[in-house]
A and B are shown apart, each in its own frame.
Chain A
Amino acid sequence: MSELFAKLGEETWTVLSGVLFAIPYLAGYIALILVALLIWNGVKRLLTPKKDYSSLKTVTFGDESAVASNTVASVVSVVAIFVLWGMFTASNWVPGFLHVPGPHAGEGEFTYTLTAEDGSTDDATVSVLMPGQGEEIPDAPEVELGDGFAKNDSIVVEPFRSELLLFDGNDETTRRDGAEVTAINGESIERGGSVSVGFGTVVMTDRGTLNVTPNQGLQMEALYLPPPEAVWQTAKDIWNDGFRNFSFAEHLGFSIFRVIVGFLLGAIVGIPLGYAMGLSDWFRGWFDPIVEFMRPVPPLALIPLVILWFGIGEEGKIVLLFLASLWIMAIGARSGVSGVRISKVHAAYSLGASKWQIMRHVIIPNSLPEIFTAARVAMGVAWGTVVAAELVAASQGVGMMIMVASKFQATAIVIFGIIVIGIVGFAIDMLVRMLERWMVPWKGKG
């Protein structure tokens, strides 16, 4: 047990130090937000006449209702994301002077001092060739060996990489003979130590070899984060040529189809179930334990079981999404029914309505706002679940696109997929909201 706590503590420390590393970037981002605010305030002051008394009305701080989303801030925020993305990936879309420093490119050299077993020393020069990003990787250049027992070397280091220098491959006396590198550029070094050489760092490994690491800069390697134009290109390629035997429309269509069918089945079963639970103590007693148990189980946890039972085809995915929406819809319908004001039911009774008429004209319309809220949540959960299910196993779908692409390190496709998933999720939410405004305009106004 204490071992576990020790492990957890260690992990926590790792996480915290990671956060510490991120703090300068976060501070920079916050500074960016504030600078943009200052600039916008300046622009606004220029645009509006100076003798405007409404500008004196400053007592809105703390008045939540006075806070509406600032469109300018939203636009700047989105633009900033793309600009930052471009800056850190050396994108063509962003002017070069904005690019953050990339990995060091060009030529460099350093000398190492080899000390033979008998104490005599000799210096040799290492020429380091560092091609820039996107350049062809050349062979290591020929260099004059020079005199003395340590001979000159040359080495090529690809961008974002470091290279092990087998310095004694050509030396007359080697580590096997007891020779040892004792200094780099005149600065003494031991095994495990490192010396900065201007264009980068030379590390002496525990076995006595030298490892050359050029300055990495702040840019992201395309493998981890491709520049925006690469993602755009990928988007166009997938749009035109499809991906893995299916067109983009088919991938997206399959994902959305699964969500809609699964959600509809969940609603068709869940809403009557919720009504039954809201109207009959027997049904509530019967289903309460089941619903309350199943509700906190994340649908993702059901994926393995669903795959075992139904396989990886459509059936399994739709069953999974059905289960994901079922409980949400049942609970929404139940609280919609129990949320009816008793005075409304009483009023309907004293106006001569029968039980069925009360159901039809009072309880069902009264529960609609709650059902729409549940539908929004259920659609959101279903969308998240379908992507996850496709990540596990599928032959088409947006989640499958990401999963396959990540296996081939096609990061641009992964990012494109994430953007598509975000946009579709947002669109689904907007659609349900519009439907809600149209169908239950009285929501929140009772």
Chain B
Amino acid sequence: MSDLVIDKLSMRFDLPNGSSVQALKDVSINLKKGELLSVLGPSGCGKTTLLNIVAGFLAPTEGTINLNNSVVTGPSPERGMVFQQGALFEWMNVRENVGFGPSMKGMPKAEKREKVDHLLDVVGLGDFKEKAVYELSGGMQQRVALARCLCNEPDVILMDEPLGALDALTREKMQGLVLKLWKETGKTIILITHSVEEALLLGERLIVMAPRPGRIHKEYNLPFAEMGVGADLRQVKKHPDFGTTRDEILAMIWDMEEEIMGRTEAAS
């Protein structure tokens, strides 16, 4: 049984000047429970629009999304989201942030506390429970965001470039953490990223999208995520297939960017 079914999704934005932009066209994805899909593409290919539709923040012009055989019509706690940054609540400390979802549901305090503390230990923030979020580094803040999402026990986790704003070293550590959490919790994850390496490392499946209109260009099934669980990600990157796939995708995206640039130049 497919858990998350994205069926012929199209999205058109009408601009105030009368024209319209086709952000997505006929995007269909079938995602089984526990799969980790990474989505890659040049800027403007509709990756974030796709994620926002799946999250329920946007209603698609055409097509439907089914999760567990019911149609998605709006945001709901079964689809958790991790943002790039700035989505934590500064007025709450780390523990309150992570416990936000359970608080909204009115979970009893003791139970919530136990759950939050456990998750904070899992993401390695056991010593920072009472800190204000703005006192944490960027990497730690993203750990809080991950824990906050997990604490709400969603079926699907949507990640919108969650590691995009981190430095290279922190990013590598966080990639390991994402893989570990994915394996331990068995959640379905859609991860959007700009980085080809990250998409290859984390994506069990990988979709490359093309812009104007945003559509699926190519799909891969990859072994690297499995390999990377609990292993040294730098070793995974040395795998011969990793290099060839990376170069292939980079060339693909390069071509798309060239095409966009060419078209813009021709238009101007």
Contact = CB atoms under 8 A, between A and B. Distances in A.
B148 interface: yes
Contact of B80 (A351, A368, A446): A351
A343 B83 CA distance: 7
A350 B90 contact: no
Interface stretch (B16-24, B99-107, B116-124, B234-242): B99-107
A395 interface: no
Contacts of A344: 86-89
A442 interface: yes
Contact of B75 (A343, A350, A440): A350
A347 interface: yes
Nearest to A368: B91
B152 A352 contact: yes
A362 B77 contact: no
| 8 smallest beta-carbon distances between A and B, as pairs | A352-B77, A442-B90, A445-B134, A349-B75, A351-B101, A365-B91, A343-B87, A347-B87
Contacts of A188: none
Interface of B: 52, 55-57, 74-77, 79-81, 83-84, 86-91, 100-101, 104-105, 132, 134, 148-149, 152, 154, 158
A337 to B, nearest CB: 15
A347 to B, nearest CB: 4
Given A346-B57, A446-B86, A446-B134, A351 B91 contact: no
Given A346-B55, A346-B75, A353 B104 contact: yes
Contact of A442 (B52, B81, B132): B132
Interface residues of A, number: 23
B81 A346 contact: yes
Contacts of A349: 56-57, 74-75
A367 B77 CA distance: 25
A441 interface: yes
Contacts of A276: none
A359 B152 CA distance: 20
Contacts, number: 76
A354 B74 CA distance: 12
A442 B87 contact: no
Interface string A329-352: 000000000000101101111111
Contacts of A352: 76-77, 101, 104-105, 152
A41 interface: no
B87 A351 contact: no
Interface of A: 341, 343-344, 346-354, 357, 361-362, 365-366, 368, 440-442, 445-446
A368 B80 CA distance: 27
A368 B89 CA distance: 13
Given A351-B104, A446-B134, A341 B57 contact: no
B154 to A, nearest CB: 8
B132 A441 contact: yes
Contacts of A442: 90-91, 132, 134
- Of A344, A352, A440, A441, the most chain B CB neighbours within 10 A belong to A352
A19 to B, nearest CB: 48
Contacts of A446: 86, 90, 134
Contact of B87 (A346, A353, A357, A365): A346
Contacts of B83: 343, 346-347
A362 B75 contact: no
Contacts of B104: 348, 351-354, 357, 361
A351 B134 contact: no
Given A442-B132, A446-B134, A351 B77 contact: yes
A445 B56 CA distance: 29
Contacts of A357: 104
- Of A351, A354, A361, the most chain B CB neighbours within 10 A belong to A351
B112 to A, nearest CB: 13
B104 to A, nearest CB: 5
A366 B91 contact: yes
Contacts of B152: 351-352
A132 to B, nearest CB: 66
- Of B86, B87, B91, the most chain A CB neighbours within 10 A belong to B91
Contacts of A440: 91
A347 B100 CA distance: 10
Contact of B55 (A341, A350, A445): A350
B256 to A, nearest CB: 27
A361 B134 contact: no
Given A361-B100, A442-B132, A445-B134, A350 B91 contact: no
A343 B86 contact: yes
B226 to A, nearest CB: 28
Given A349-B57, A350-B79, A352-B104, 19 more contacts: A343-B84, A344-B86, A346-B55, A346-B57, A346-B81, A347-B83, A347-B88, A349-B74, A350-B55, A350-B154, A351-B104, A351-B152, A353-B104, A354-B104, A442-B90, A442-B132, A445-B90, A445-B134, A446-B86
A348 B57 contact: no
A343 B159 CA distance: 12
A27 B79 CA distance: 70
B90 A348 contact: no
A348 B89 CA distance: 9
B54 to A, nearest CB: 10
B132 A351 contact: no
A344 B145 CA distance: 11
Given A349-B57, A350-B81, A357-B104, A362 B89 contact: yes
B150 to A, nearest CB: 11
16 contacts: A344-B86, A344-B88, A347-B88, A347-B148, A350-B80, A350-B81, A350-B154, A351-B148, A351-B149, A351-B152, A357-B104, A366-B89, A441-B132, A442-B91, A442-B134, A446-B90
A361 B132 contact: no
A348 B57 CA distance: 12
A351 B74 CA distance: 12
A146 B81 CA distance: 110
Nearest to B85: A343
Nearest to B90: A442
Contacts of A365: 89, 91
A442 B55 CA distance: 28
A71 B57 CA distance: 53
